[in-house]
Amino acid sequence: MNHPIKSVWLNQLLIGGGAIAAITLNSLMTPALSSPEPEVLEDNPKAIIDEMWQIVNNEFVDRKFNRVDWLEKRQELLGQEYSSNKQAYKAINKALKDLGDPYTRFLAPDDFATLTSQTSGELSGIGVRLILDKRTSQLFVVDTVKNSPAASAGIKRGDRVIRINDKPTALMTLEQAKQELEGEIGTQVSLQLSRKDKGVFQVDVTRAEIEIASVTYTLKEEDKVRIGYIKLDEFSSHAAEQMTQAINDLGKKQVSGYVLDLRGNPGGLLFASVDIARLWLKKGEIVMTVDRRGGDRHFSANGTALTDLPLVILVDQGSASASEILAGALKENKRATVVGTTTYGKGTVQSVHSLSDGSGLAVTIARYYPPSGTDINHKGINPDIYLDLSMEQQLQLKNDPELLGTNADPQYKRAVGVLKSNAASISLPATPKPVGLRWENLREAVMDENPQWERMNQ
């Protein structure tokens, strides 16, 4: 998920409430039109506009383009003069807005680079997640990536970042801090940190390629019932591998059931959601996609499930896209009990393309449906057990994420109650066998469009 992809016609798919699902294949655009061609020169801002137009023309799910004369739109766009790529970007955004689809959108080079980094589940840096306190302009470490250079250097959650490469962070934006932390693999970044029990100290960290943990898990003992708690933050390209490890490790500890937490998960790779569903589901349909020509594609379980122990899934209004595919498939196949609130409600698939200047374009190309065929777009998936949190409870969990999956978390407590009711009839599982994952050369990703925190991974 790291670097901008320079190939002009790299195609990717999106399914998220902010995420992008990607299918990597090289595709040629429809070449000629019957009307006279406006002159489009390479390295001219008009070239970016024409790339955008061609992709939308070939792929947008609404063949009527929201009643926009898309051919006339091309003539209009290429008939104007643009002094810079940024000016062309404004014209592109305006044209896409006319399509009436919030998920068909243009991504400036920096945004596209961030997206590709998120979807790959990898980043080049030192492995810290930073948060900016807007009230004090202070920069803090909110987390470190497991086995990252930052973790190895002893950097901890709560450390305040005073200087990066001898530059004070007091006047830095989060983006400026990110730029300071970026650099070639193998080079060093110097940090001055402050910690309550240690005071001010200096640390030099060597940059590396890092796999981001999308999955975290732990064994819970709840009244002598052993429960495997798994938190899935996003459906990156490594998420299914990490989920496999979580299920296997917890299974060896003889758990009686699992709680899979998808709350706040904005989505990710479509095929990551399919592969993860297959880890839980022995048989049954997972999802169906329908493109603009009416062609449908079905994805089903393939007999590679790792466990048949009871499963409870936690969802909320922030569970979108790939999260809804997974929750919907396991709920409708009666494989899991879903607890929480109604999910986000995004039932469309996008393709993501890189353009020749490093920018990107996401285009809605299909709609997806859970096994029942229900249209969840703008509706979401209703849980089996509806349990909302009070504003006070939401604020408490937001301010202290360590409370998630504890007795201070009402939705988790309800999930535990469901598993306890099944505990008497559960026999201990055999050690599951590892499963080889198949990616079928397809990727999908999701961006969080309404982040509650200004945050950054680096």
Task: Report the catalytic residues.
Answer: 321, 346
CA distance 200 to 366: 53
Nearest to 367 by CA among 37, 106, 18, 61: 61
Return the DSSP state at 354: E
Tokens of 153: 């250097």
142: amino acid identity, one letter: V
What are the b/e assignments for 281-317, b being 16+ CB within 10 Å?
beeebbbbbbebeeeeeebbbeebbbbebbbbbbbbb
Task: Give 362's contacts (C-beta < 8 A, 6+ positions apart).
Answer: 14, 20, 103, 104, 105, 106, 107, 350, 351, 352, 353
70-78 vs 85-97: helix crossing angle, rounded to 10: 160
Tokens of 246: 């979580």
Q: How many CB atoms sit inside 10 A of residue 440's CB?
A: 10
Specify whether the CB–CB gap between 237 and 269 falls below 8 A: yes
CA distance 217 to 105: 35
C-alpha dihedral (339, 341, 345, 350), degrees to nearest 10:
-60
Nearest to 128 by CA among 139, 115, 112, 114: 139
Q: Which long-range contacts (CB under 8 A, 24 or more apart) does 69-76 make?
A: 71/33, 71/35, 73/98, 74/33, 74/38, 74/50, 75/35, 75/38
Measured CA distances, 442 to 24, 210, 323, 337 (Å): 6, 21, 17, 29
- Please give the helix or strand (H or E) that residue 50 lies within, else none: helix 45-59
SS3 label, residue 425:
coil
